[in-house]
Amino acid sequence: MTVTTRFAPSPTGKLHVGNIRTALHNWMWAKKQGGRFLLRIDDTDEARSEERFVESIRADLGWLGMSPDGEQRQSGHFDRYERVFEQLRSAGRIYPCYETPQELDLKRKVLLGRGLPPIYDRAALKLSEADRRKLASDGKRPHWRFRLDHDTPIEWSDRIRGDQHFDPALLSDPVIRREDESWLYLLPSVIDDIDMGVTDVVRGEDHVSNTAVQIQMFEALDAAPPAFAHEALLTGVEGKLSKRLGSLGAEHFREEGIEPQALIALLARIGTSDPVEPVADPAPLIERFDFAHFGRAPARFDEEELRMLNAKIVHLLDFDRVAARLPDGMTAEAWDAVRPNLMRVEDADIWWRVIEGPVDTGHDPADRDFLAQAAELAANIDWSGDPWHTLTGALKQTTGRKGRALFLPLRKVLTGHDHGPDMAALLPLIGRERTIARLQP
């Protein structure tokens, strides 16, 4: 059977870093197995779903290089959900309930006060048909629950968490449909996973209890459930679940100049026993992807670590991969000269302006004579080889300067900075005429 994974976001907002990590791991697993990675837009919440978020999700996946092998939308399958709903209702696996949210909350509090699990007591199953007709005549509309089979233990082997065991008698029958007949996540997701041929699901550990009840839904529909992998959730640098992570999305990272390769390299490895490494191609990450390497401890997401990793990846990018984002006229030689000093590709513009000039650096009066000698020597050395070492070698002989006293005044007057790219690579790009003009008082 072809391994098929899916990423199923709700288009009620933009993707955040936690969503991206889930999508990435589903994509990586499918690619490693030679399978399919599908996008499912879970837009059953018609009031909150917006088309602009659908477009944003597609754009973000495209930016990350995770184009899906297929796409579908839940809003196109309402007829299918109705048919399954009627099938399960006829089989006695779905039943109507009439308690208000306030009544349910009071029941939970009473049970907790008695030291009991706050699970639904199935009071609605005791209603007669006459009771239901009376409630309907009074204008009461039901919500609907899936009836768990209390006689069948729920078990599965989780790819990350290992063997899982749930006693269904200790779980509430899950609500699958609201009073206004809109769908909750649980049942439509199962129906679509069956129809899409989904074989593997990677998602956060906050879905473990959902998985337990969904396994019985798969069984009620005579379908084998997918293999599940529930990964630890992301935490912020403060060591606890961070609301800030919910606001960090692809748009934020793009604005910060983060390369998609850096985000992939970090999210592929944090929370695993594998080291985070700067790789510009996801192929080695996919090759080593292994659920056995995932830990149970929360995965720590650190933006500073991402920025440092980004810089290392920028240093690996060849000219052809970045040419369209560089300043007009910037050459491959210039890119190779400046990229070891960049944190972001966009910062290349700073050094291209240094190369092209003009550079308003000013001259330290104490270095006036030294720089005048440098200008004279620069006019007479051979520029066809290594002008920087030729120039500094000649200056060392004529002035007796060495080390910082020799190199720093030259760097500052030629670039306007006291640090930066290797001057041996930078000076040929600045060129003879610009060098002489900048050295002259």
Binding-site entries for ATP: 243
**Closest residue by Cα to residue 172 from 232, 97, 240, 121:** 121
CB 412 within 8 Å of CB 404: no
Q: Which residue(s) pair with 234 in the sheet? A: 299
Question: Residues 373, 285: contact at Cβ < 8 Å?
Answer: no
Q: Put residue 196 in one of left, alpha, beta given phi > 0 → left and psi -120 to 50 → alpha.
A: alpha
Q: Is the dihedral of CA 391, 395, 397, 400 positive or negative?
A: negative
Phi-psi region of 333 (alpha: psi -120 to 50; beta: other; left: phi over 0): alpha
In Å, how far are 64, 198, 321, 429 from 317, measured between CA atoms?
16, 36, 6, 20
> Nearest CA to 330 among 359, 353, 358, 352?
352
- The DSSP bridge partners found for residue 228 are 201
- Cβ neighbours around 34 below 10 Å, total: 8
Sign, CA torsion 24/30/31/33: positive
* CA separation for the pair 327, 429 (Å, rounded): 15
The distance from CA 95 to its chain's CA centroid, rounded to whole angstroms, is 39
311, containing H or E segment: helix 303-314
Place of tokens 């520029």: 383
Q: Pick out the residues of the known binding site.
A: 243
CB neighbour burial string for 217-248, b if at least 16 within 10 angstroms, e if fewer: bbebbeeebbbbbbbbebbbeeeeebeebeeb
- Find out whether 57 and 41 touch, Cβ atoms under 8 Å: yes
